[in-house]
Structure 1
Amino acid sequence: MAGVDAYLVCAVPRTGSSLLCGLLASTGVAGRPEAYFRVPDEPLWARRWGLPAGEWRYGEYVRAALAAGRTGNGVFGAKVMWGTLDRMVDGLAAEHPELPGGDDALLRRAFGRTAFVHLRRDDVLAQAVSWLRAEQTGRWTDTGPDAVDASGPPTGEPRYDPDGIDELLHTIAEHQGAWDAWFARHGITPHRVRYEDLAADPGDVTRGVLDALGLPSAGVSARPRHRRQADEINVEWIARHRARA
Structure 2
Amino acid sequence: MAAKVTFMASDSDDSTLHRSGPGGSYLVLASQRSGSTLLVESLRATGIAGNPEEYFQYLPTTSAAPQPREWFAGVTDPQVLALLDPLDPGVPAAETSSQWRERILQAGRSDNGVWGGKLMWNQTPLLVDRAAGLPDRSGSDLRTAIADVLGDVLLIKVSRENVVDQAVSFWRAVQTRVWRGKADPERDARAQYNADGIAHLVTELRNQEAGWRAWFADNGITPFEVSYEELTADTTKVVAAILEALELDPAAAPPPDLEKQGDARSNEWAERYRHDAASRGLPL
Instruction: Quickly name the TM-score band, shorter chain normalised.
Output: 0.7 to 0.9
User: Post-superposition shift, 1:156?
Assistant: 6.9
Task: Specify the alignment match of 1:16 in structure 2.
Answer: 35
What is the rounded CA distance, in whole Å, between the counterparts of 2:96 and 2:196 in structure 1? 41
Using the TM superposition, give the Cα deviation of residue 40 of structure 1 relative to its aligned residue in structure 2, in angstroms: 5.0
Tell me, yes or no, if structure 1 residue 86 matches structure 2 residue 125.
yes
* Distance in 2 between residues matched to 1:196 and 1:155, nearest whole Å: 25
> Equivalent residue for 1:241?
273
Q: Confirm or deny that 1:191 pairs with 2:215.
A: no
> Could you say which residue in structure 1 is the equivalent of 2:76?
none
- Corresponding residue SS for 2:190: coil
Distance across 1 between alignment mates of 2:185 and 2:108 = 24
Deviations 1:213-237 (A, max 9, x none): 33221x2132445311111111111
C-alpha displacement at 1:44, in angstroms? 7.5
- Report how far residue 117 of structure 1 moved: 0.7
Aligned length: 231
Decide which structure has the larger Cα Rg and report it. Answer: 2
Map 1:1-245 onto structure 2 (within 5 A).
2=21, 5-40=24-59, 43=63, 54-96=93-135, 99-100=138-139, 102-142=141-181, 154=187, 157-217=190-250, 219-244=251-276, 245=278
CA offsets 1:184-221 (integer angstroms, 9 cap, x no match): 2222211111011111111011112222333221x213
Unaligned runs of 5+ in 2: 1-19, 66-91, 279-284
Hey, what's the Cα distance between the residues in 2 that align with 1:113 and 1:226?
30
Instruction: Report the RMSD for the aligned CA atoms in angstroms.
Output: 2.7
TM-score calculated relative to the size of structure 2 = 0.73
Write the distance in 1 (CA, Å) between the matches of 2:23 and 2:160. Answer: 26
Per mean C-alpha deviation after superposition, the further-off stretch among 192-201 and 156-165 is 156-165
- TM-superposition CA deviations, 1:151-206 (whole Å, max 9, x none): 89738722111112222111111110001111222222111110111111110111
Contact 2:216-2:222 within 8 A present in 1 as well: yes
Gaps of 5+ in 1: 46-52, 144-149
Change (3 A) 1:94 1:121: same
**Which SS does the other structure have where 1:39 is aligned?**
coil
CA contact 1:136–1:156 (8 Å) conserved in 2: no
User: Match of 2:252, SS?
Assistant: coil
Q: Secondary structure at the match of 1:56?
A: coil
2: CA distance between counterparts of 1:110 and 1:135?
29
Q: Sequence identity, in percent?
A: 34
What CA distance in whole angstroms lies between the structure 2 residues aligned with 1:201 and 1:133?
25
Answer whether contact 1:28 1:71 (CA < 8 A) is retained: yes
SS at match of 1:154: helix
1:36-57 superposed Cα distances (whole Å, 9 cap, x missing partner)? 2211599489xxxxxxx94321
Mark the CA change 1:100 to 1:232 in structure 2 (over 3 Å): closer, same or farther.
closer
Instruction: Letter of the 1:79 partner, please give it.
Output: K
